[in-house]
């Protein structure tokens, strides 16, 4: 392999929010920066392309978020969602630094949605990108290019060359690339089907990758094999219920199915397995993703009647419809007799609440599993269904880092000039569970830190080199 002469002070590996934030911060600090993205230009941005919002703290209303969302509330919600096990030093950095993200993003040219314009749901915890994640990626890319960052698409890094605990080069298909410091912002391994099957067994074959197909973990797995300290559990995935007709990769947020409380969810035998009325908050997406993972063929069907379909949130794919439930079952390929028994028992068990007109207060009686809320008959034709499977967002697995984003090594030290940001280190903060907008916040906060740290290390190395030359 031919060695290329050093092209930059800082080499950033990755293409999403963490990588772009690192490249911008390093360039603003005066470093020359190369960014290598395994994805082609038309797939730039990693999973940030599919994001909508980011979580941040603010003590009162802002132009982008109503009301207040305090540091204490952010900490408490993240600890509750993850069940603890969070690196508290990193949590403090995340929560405190999140407050500055809106101003920083706007300063880089990213447009944010104005609060209260009526086009988005109420959220006091997150701000939304105007135009979505793809617009944010485009703006950050333009800013990086304007600062002189050299971006090369279609160039992945499978390994690094180490001299002790110092990275001396990154190994690509084109050769070795050297730099004074390296930022690792290339994500996890969850887009590799063989890696998923290794850790989750045959069920993983039924999963759909919601995001970039390029998060295959080559560099993450190499780092762990060499001595990086792992964090999290490779079998712990953040799964979301998505339409089973979604593409194998990169379907994004549009493929999500959200109408479970409005109907019933059955397996291929036409049987219910869980209470569809128990989950109405955003957590229902991940809970149903986990549940579907245990279904036969990892597939379930959301069954609705005409009234439920009218109330259901918009979906990317049209529902499968039929005039009767038997015809619907035949169209879906599920057991018609089993579905008929399930529907009859469900409809007969419904009991109105204090206000019969309030479907949310209706529940079932003497039915297992129960439907504890939103129980209304499925009786008005035509009948409809959405096929669902688990959609993989990311794995709760990566490398351990400190508050400076230095990569922890098995000898209780750290790599001298390599820093990690984004989903490759997110398991330090989300070893399980999730709260909305968190991945982008982690990527931006720690991407900025990693870029600044890498620029400082590269500058210090240059100063030492100049000093040696001066003495000579």
The full 3-state SS of 281-319, as one line of letters, equals CCHHHHHHHHHHCCCHHHCEEEEECHHHHHHCCCCCCCC
Residues 364 and 466 in one domain: no
Q: In which element (H, E) is residue 119 found?
A: none
Q: How far apart are CA 59 and CA 79, in angstroms?
A: 20
Q: pTM value?
A: 0.94
Domain-located, residue 2: no
DSSP 8-class letter at 400 = -
Same domain, 304 and 354: yes
Decide which of 380, 404, 421 is a domain's last residue: 380
Whether 1 has a pLDDT exceeding 50, the answer reads no
Tokens of 112: 């944010």
Same domain (yes/no): 178, 263? no
Model confidence at 2, pLDDT cuts 50, 70, 90, reads very low
181 and 274 part of one domain: no
For residue 171, being part of any structural domain is answered with yes
369-383, pLDDT tens digit by residue?
999 999 999 999 999
Confidence of residue 286 (pLDDT cuts 50, 70, 90): confident
State whether 309 and 432 are in the same domain.
no
Domain CATH for 367: 3.90.700.10
pLDDT value at 357 more than 70 = no
194 and 338 part of one domain:
no
Q: In the structure, what pLDDT confidence band is assigned to residue 353 with cuts at 50, 70 and 90? A: confident
- How many distinct structural domains can be found in the chain? 2
pLDDT in tens, 247-262: 999 999 999 999 999 9
Residue 122 pLDDT level (bands cut at 50, 70, 90):
confident
Mean pLDDT over residues 403-420, rounded? 96
258 and 223 in contact (C-beta within 8 Å)? no
319 in a structural domain: no
Distance separating alpha carbons of residues 409 and 419, to the nearest angstrom: 12
CA dihedral 176, 178, 181, 187 (to 10 degrees): -20
Q: Do 269 and 193 share a structural domain?
A: no
Is residue 386 a part of any domain in this protein? no
Contact (Cβ atoms closer than 8 angstroms) between residue 36 and residue 421: no
Alpha-helical runs (H) found in 43-128: 71-82, 88-98, 101-107
Q: What is the mean pLDDT of residues 300-308?
A: 98
pLDDT over threshold 50, residue 201: yes
Mean residue pLDDT of the chain comes to 94
User: In this model, does residue 6 exceed pLDDT 60?
Assistant: no
**Which of 333, 356, 380 is the endpoint of a domain?**
380
Rg (alpha carbons) of the chain, rounded to whole number: 24
pLDDT class of 72 with cuts at 50, 70, 90: very high
Structural contact between residues 433 and 233, judged by C-beta atoms closer than 8 angstroms: no
Residues 139-184: pLDDT tens digits? 999 999 999 999 999 999 999 999 999 999 999 988 899 999 999 9
Give pLDDT tens digits for 422-467: 999 999 999 999 999 999 999 999 999 999 999 999 998 787 776 7
Name the more confident of 282 and 264.
264
206 pLDDT band, cuts 50/70/90, is very high
Q: Is the pLDDT of residue 224 over 60?
A: yes
> Looking at the structure, do residues 292 and 367 belong to the same domain, yes or no?
yes
Residues 32 and 138 in one domain: yes
Q: Which of 357, 380, 403 is the last residue of a domain?
A: 380
Give Cα 61 distance to the centre of its chain: 27
Q: What is the dihedral of CA 128, 220, 402, 160, to 10 degrees?
A: -120
CB atoms within 10 A of CB 103: 10
Dump pLDDT digits (tens) for 39-55: 999 999 999 999 999 99
Nearest-10 crossing angle of helices 438-471, 17-28: 40
In a domain, 418, yes or no: yes
Residue 197 belongs to a domain: yes
| Whether residue 469 has pLDDT greater than 90 | no
The answer, yes or no, to whether residue 107 has pLDDT greater than 60, is yes
Q: Is 110 exposed, middle or buried (0-12, 13-18, 19+ CB in 10 A)?
A: buried
Give the CATH number for residue 154: 3.50.50.60
User: Whole domain around residue 356: which residue ranges?
Assistant: 258-314+324-380
pLDDT-above-90 percentage for the chain: 88
pLDDT digit string, tens, across residues 11-25: 999 999 999 999 999
Distance CA 424, CA 193 (A): 18
Q: Which two tokens stand for residue 327?
A: 């015809």
Whether residues 113 and 143 share a domain: the answer is yes
- Is 51 within a domain? yes
- Distance, in Å, from the CA atom of 170 to the CA atom of 383, rounded to the nearest integer, reads 56
Q: What is the mean pLDDT of residues 467-472?
A: 60
Is 114 within the bounds of a domain? Answer: yes
* Helix, strand, coil tally for the chain in percent (to 5): 40, 25, 40
Place of tokens 């069940």: 83
H/E stretch holding 24: helix 17-28
Residues of the chain above pLDDT 70, percent = 96
Task: Note whether 431 and 231 are within 8 A (CB).
Answer: yes
Look up residue 300 and give its two tokens: 């379930």
If asked whether residues 232 and 285 sit together in one domain, one would say no
Same domain, 278 and 209: no
Q: What confidence score (pLDDT) does residue 354 get? A: 67
């Amino acid at each position: 392999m031919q060695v290329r002469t050093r092209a930059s002070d800082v080499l950033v590996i990755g293409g999403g929010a963490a990588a772009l934030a690192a490249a911008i911060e390093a360039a603003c600090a005066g470093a020359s920066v190369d960014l290598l993205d395994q994805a082609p230009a038309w797939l730039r941005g990693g999973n940030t392309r599919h994001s909508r919002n980011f979580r941040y703290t603010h003590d009162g209303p802002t132009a982008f978020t109503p009301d207040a969302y305090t540091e204490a509330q952010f900490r408490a919600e993240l600890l509750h969602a993850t069940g603890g096990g969070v690196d508290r030093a990193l949590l403090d950095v995340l929560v405190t630094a999140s407050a500055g993200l809106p101003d920083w993003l706007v300063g880089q040219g990213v447009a944010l949605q104005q609060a209260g314009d009526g086009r988005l749901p109420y959220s006091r915890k997150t701000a939304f990108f105007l135009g979505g994640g793809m617009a944010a990626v485009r703006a950050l890319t333009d800013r990086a290019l304007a600062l002189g960052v050299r971006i090369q698409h279609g160039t992945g890094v499978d390994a690094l060359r180490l001299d002790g605990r110092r990275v001396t080069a990154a190994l690509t298909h084109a050769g070795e690339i050297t730099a004074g410091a390296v930022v690792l912002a290339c994500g996890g391994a969850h887009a590799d089907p063989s890696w998923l099957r290794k850790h989750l067994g045959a069920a993983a074959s039924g999963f759909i990758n919601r995001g970039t197909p390029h998060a295959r973990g080559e560099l993450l797995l190499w780092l762990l094999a060499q001595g990086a300290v792992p964090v999290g559990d490779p079998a712990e995935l953040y799964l979301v219920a998505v339409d089973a007709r979604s593409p194998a990769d990169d379907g994004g947020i549009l493929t999500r199915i959200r109408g479970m409380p409005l109907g019933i969810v059955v397996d291929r035998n036409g049987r219910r397995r869980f209470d569809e009325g128990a989950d109405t908050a955003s957590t229902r997406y991940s809970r149903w993703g986990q549940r579907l993972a245990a279904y036969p063929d990892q597939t379930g069907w959301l069954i609705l009647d005409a009234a439920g379909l009218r109330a259901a949130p918009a979906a990317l794919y049209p529902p499968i419809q039929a005039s009767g439930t038997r015809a619907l079952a035949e169209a879906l390929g599920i057991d018609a007799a089993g579905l008929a028994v399930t529907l009859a028992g469900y409809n007969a068990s419904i009991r109105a609440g204090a206000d019969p007109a309030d479907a949310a207060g209706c529940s079932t009686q003497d039915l297992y599993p129960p439907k504890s809320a939103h129980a209304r008959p499925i009786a008005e034709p035509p009948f409809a269904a959405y096929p669902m499977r688990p959609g993989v967002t990311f794995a709760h697995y990566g490398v351990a880092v400190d508050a400076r984003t230095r990569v922890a090594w098995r000898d209780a030290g750290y790599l001298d000039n390599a820093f990690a940001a984004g989903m490759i280190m997110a398991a330090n903060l989300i070893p399980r569970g999730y709260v909305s907008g968190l991945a982008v916040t982690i990527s931006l906060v720690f991407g900025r830190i990693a870029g600044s740290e890498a620029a400082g290390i590269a500058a210090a190395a240059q100063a030492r080199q100049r000093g040696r030359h001066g003495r000579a």
